[in-house]
Structures are given as structure tokens and as C-alpha cells.
Amino acid sequence: MSTKMIYLQPLPVRIWHWLNALGIVTLCVSGAQIRFPEYVTIIGSYRSAILLHNTAGIIVSLSFSVWFFYYKMVAGTIEDIYVPKKYDLTAGLFRQIVFYFFAYFFGVPNPHHATPDSKFNPLQKSAYLAIMFVLMPLVGLTGILLMNMGPMREIVLLLGGLKILVALHFLLACSLGAFLFTHVYLATLGSTPLAYFKPMWTGWEKVENHGETHH
Amino acid sequence: MKLAGQLKHQIFILSLFLVLCLGAKEQAQGTAFSYGDSESRNAPCMTCHGEQSKVDSRNYIDPIGFGHTTHAKFGCTTCHDAITADHPDGKPVARTTNCGDCHNEIITQYSASIHGSKAPCSGCHNPHSVFSPAEVSGEQLNKQCAACHTRNRIMATHAKWLPQTGLHLDGIACVTCHSKAENYVITIYIANRQGSDKESKTKLSSFDELSKRTAGDQIHQLIDANRDNYVSLEELRAFNRNPGYKDLYLKAMLTPINPTHSFQTFDNRWDCTFCHASGPEGIMQVSYVVFPEPDGTYRQVAVEKGAVMDALHAVPDFYLMGSTRNNILNKVGLLIIVGGMVMPVGHGFLRFLSRKNRP
């Protein structure tokens, strides 16, 4: 079967992705040092870890805001890309789960082929819906409140207090951290282990030349 | 006859011994020793000096505050021993005594500190109103420092290196970092949610304010419901959940036990992990709820161990990250992260086993 190159990831998306990746890894490492300074000392002093965590938090929050603003207000495609459709929930999700946890081991190709209009398979859509619309905003908002505990004291108390906020921020961050392992692993499930990494670096993905659009 | 005389002599000696023993026992229990009736001894002085209308503010002595001090028990003339019969004659009263006569050890310690040359004892302490560190609030401790070190200057100095400066300065007594102490405790105050002044951002509830809520009953029962002089986690929860106390909240401060007078900036206090890492068992994990008393002092009531670490109900406004870190949350967090590794590890293993099935 012939192959062709498609331009899947435009430059702004790639910059956004790697900025987020660097930011989130920095947040995980510095956050671990802030919570467990007895065991994690990767980023020098505790104060450095706090400053780095705050800086990375602001950058990732801004990056998230730009992402939301662009896809919602400018492109208007946020629902198409991230919200699963009826088909995705009734059949697509099941089909994708069967592929990952069964068919893949027998050499069956991925039933979903990414296109610029349909980047994510139904499972990815569901996962990113939870990540981008629940986990990311909540971890960002709790972080912003923690950074501004003085001026936002009354809001924090309304939410149940500082400890509730810290607990929520910590558990949400752990969930994001847990997702990172799955995210990176799933990215190695292409035709070659680096097949899905390349488009996020160069923008171009090599795909089989199908005559029809796959879901 | 001689035998009877000897017996009488022995009975007299034995009686004398018993009387001496009983006397010694009473003294050991603290009931026999007395400073005397200090109130009546000081009364001639307090007739004028205890009345704001009779003396200027510089010479006014608050009778309640003074009556609380050990200095009052010694009596005014112990320190003011040069009062003449002409007093008051408008002339300053000479004083031949000084603080070092009794507090020599503290003077030596203080003189060696960076503060020694900056301010005399009276710069921080009013000898007519002396309280132990446990009897004053963290804010009162800080107010002593604020007499010279203004809030703005303290903020500016600390903001150069201390993240969340205002939050730290509100939650830590200055002497926590700037004096040596054996240990530190988390002191919990009842504060007003409304009416907080901009300067300190919080306002601790006064005795009168809390007394109104108990209709004159003991105010510690606001939290210590069973009045056993011990605050359990359940009692803290009940206080926090009580809709009748919505306008109150628990404010905590890190305060030292027995701060010394060796004032300086200790090197290890620049390191945030001094507080933000879980130290040895017991350090910074002991907490008290303190209740204001009618005489302006505070009374400590011990809090159940571990209450300050309770994530949900203890003190909503206080968190140290180190010693108040919740271990149950740590385990839940670890489980979530391990859960995230299950898929890559499990799938990766099957992927390796089935590698021949794929091109």
C-alpha cells in the first residue's frame, strides 16, 4: 500500500504542545520537591522549587488559556476536535478499546487514521475531554488560588480552606502525572515507536493512502 | 521521776520534729510561702498610678495587667526604692535597681545578641505588664517588634527572598525565626471573619466578643464542648461546622515555646525546609487552642495530637506542607500515579510477547 505525507500538526500547535510538555514535567518535578523536600532535591533549594513551580504554573495556565481562546473563539472547532460524538460513544469507543487491548496484539492496524480534521480517535477524545476540560482547568485554578492565598483568602475559605485546596491540587496533579505515563506510552504505538512523535516535531505524518475517511 | 523527765523531753523533741515536717510539706506545696498582701502593699501607689484621671499616660499603670505580674507581688518599692516622703513632688523618681538584678542570665544573653545595643529592656517590655510567652498571642508578640520594625519595612525586607511574604508574616511570630527556642507549636486562635483590619488582615476575637456568645459562661466551651480542658479533633470539626459560628474561624500561628533573648537571624531559617519539611517526631506537630482571658492574657488548651494535620476539619487557614502534610493523601496520590503506570507496563509486556504478530 502506498503512503503519503500529510501536514497534521501546524507550527503553533507544536510549539504549544512542547511548551506544555516542558511546563507540566517541570511542574511535576518541582511540585514533588515542594511536597517532599526530604526526598526530592532536584531543583536546588526549596525556594527555587517554589519559584520555578510558580513560573511554570503561570506559563502553562497562559498556554491553556491561549489554547481555549483559539479553539473556542477563533477556530470554533473545540467541540469537533475534543467532544465525542454520538458515534464515538456508541461504537467508536468500544472499537478503539478492542483495538488497544486485543486486536493490537494480533497485528490488526489502528481503525482510526488521524487527519487534520479528525486528529483524535474516540478514546483520545474522551481522555482529552477529561484532561483539558476538567483536570487542567481545576489544577490551574487551585494553583492560582494557592499562589495568591493572601488576596484570595476569603475565596479559599469558602471552598473549605487551604488544606482542602492543597489536597485537591495535589490529587489533580497526581492524576495529570499518571496520565503522562499513558500518554507517552500510547504515542509509541504507531507503525514504529517514533511514528507518532515525528509529526509533533516536524508537523508531517506518513500515512497509508486510503481511499476513504476513517473514524 | 528521771525517767518521766526523759520521756517528756523526747515527746517535746518528737512534736517539734513533726511540726517542722508539716511546715516543710506545706511550703513544698506552695501554700506556706507568700509574697504577702501585695495588693494592699501597693495600694498607696495605685491610688494615683492606677487611675488614668490622676496621672498622665506615661505614669499610668493598668491595675489588672500589673496585678498579674510577679513584679506586683514583690511590691512597687522593691524597684522604686528611692521614693521620698515628698513624693509626688514633680521630680523624677530615682531607681537604684535594674532588670539585671533579677534577670542576669537574660541580660547576658540579650547583650550578646544583635539587639543588645539597639534597645534597653523597656524598649520591648513594660515591667508593669509582663506576661509569659504562652499567655500572649502571636500577634501581641509581633506588636512588640512592630514598635520599631514597621510592617512596611518588614514586608519589604522579607519580600526580597521570602515567597508569599504577607502570608508568612501573618502566620509566624517574629521570634519563631529570630530567636532560639526549644520547639515550636501551632497556636490556634479564634478570629473574626468580618471586620478584619487591612494592616494585619485578621482580627483575633476578644474576650468580650466571645463572652457574649456564651452568655457569660466560660468561653473555652465554644470549642471544648465537654469542658475537659482538652480539644479533640471531633470538637474542632463541630466548631468548624457549626452554622452559628460562621462569622468566626480558626487562625493558626507558628509560635516558639520559651523563646530566648538571643535575637538574631539564624542561618537555618533562610532554608525553607526548616519548617516545610517534616522534622523529627513531635516538632511543629503540637498545637493548642488559646482563649482570651478577661485580663488580656490567653489561656492554652491542648489539642489532640495530629489535629493540625487533619486535611478537612482542623484549621482551614493553616498549612505548613512539612509537618502538617497528610499521609493518607500521599498514599492516595501514589496509588493514582501507580495506576497511571499499570497500562503502559501491562500493555507493554503483552506488546513485547506479541511482537512477532506485528509487521
pLDDT at A76: 81
Q: Mind listing the pLDDT tens digit of every residue in chain A (215 residues)?
A: 577 788 888 888 899 999 999 999 999 999 999 998 888 999 989 999 999 999 999 999 999 999 899 888 888 888 888 888 888 888 888 898 899 888 888 888 888 887 777 778 888 888 889 999 999 999 999 999 999 988 888 888 888 888 889 999 999 999 999 999 999 998 898 878 888 888 889 988 877 765 544 43
pLDDT digits (tens, 9 = 90+) for B8-49: 556 555 554 444 444 444 444 433 334 456 667 788 888 888
DSSP for B44-104 reads HHHHHHT-TTTS-GGG---HHHHHTSHHHHH-HHHH-TT--TT-SSSSPPP----GGGT-H
pLDDT at B357 > cutoff 60: yes
Q: Give B268's DSSP letter.
A: G
C-alpha angle A140-A146-A147 in degrees, rounded to nearest 5: 90
Q: Which residue of A has its CA nearest to B309?
A: A163
pLDDT level of residue B271 (50, 70, 90 thresholds): confident
Identity at B224, one-letter amino acid code: D
Q: Which residue has the cell 501546524?
A: A10
pLDDT at B275 > cutoff 90: no
Q: Which residue in B241, B231, B149 sits closest to B187, CA to CA? A: B231
From A37, A50, A175, residue closest to B336, measured CB to CB:
A175
Q: Give A176's DSSP letter.
A: H
pLDDT at B310: 66
Chain B neighbors of A174, CB-CB under 8 A: 332-334, 336-337
Query: From CA B146, how far away is CA B155, in angstroms rounded?
Result: 11
pLDDT at B198: 45
pLDDT at A152: 87
pLDDT at B19: 43
Q: Which residue has the cell 489502528?
A: A110
pLDDT at A13: 86
pLDDT at B352: 92
pLDDT at A55: 96
Half-sphere exposure of B187 (CA within 13 A, CB side): 29
Contact B277 A37 (CB under 8 A): yes
Contact A163 B343 (CB under 8 A): no
Contacts across the A-B interface (CB distance below 8 Å): 121
3-state secondary structure at position B153? helix
From A104, A105, A185, residue closest to B343, measured CB to CB:
A185
Whether B207 contacts B293, CB under 8 Å: yes
pLDDT at B313: 66
**B88: preceding bond cis by omega (within 30 degrees):** yes
**Range B100-106 average pLDDT:** 89
ipTM: 0.87
Give chain B's length. Answer: 359
- Cα dist. B325→B89, B234, B251, B311 in Å? 63, 19, 18, 8
Contact B311 A104 (CB under 8 A): no
**Range B238-248 average pLDDT:** 86
Q: Which residue has the cell 507518532?
A: A196
pLDDT level of residue B201 (50, 70, 90 thresholds): low
| Distance between B295 CA and the closest CA of chain A, angstroms | 31
Identity at B181, one-letter amino acid code: A
**Host H or E run for residue B285:** none
From A38, A50, A170, residue closest to B163, measured CB to CB:
A50
- Give Cα B146 distance to the centre of its chain: 17
pLDDT digits (tens, 9 = 90+) for B43-79: 888 888 889 888 888 888 988 888 878 888 888 888 8
From A149, A153, A174, residue closest to B333, measured CB to CB:
A174
- Chain A interface, best mutation among B336, B338, B341, B345, by max A CB count within 10 A: B336
Identity at A211, one-letter amino acid code: G
Percent of chain A clearing pLDDT 70 (strictly above): 96
Chain A neighbors of B347, CB-CB under 8 A: 100-101, 185
Q: Which residue of A has its CA nearest to B358?
A: A107
CA dihedral of residues A52, A53, A54, A55 (deg, nearest 10): 50
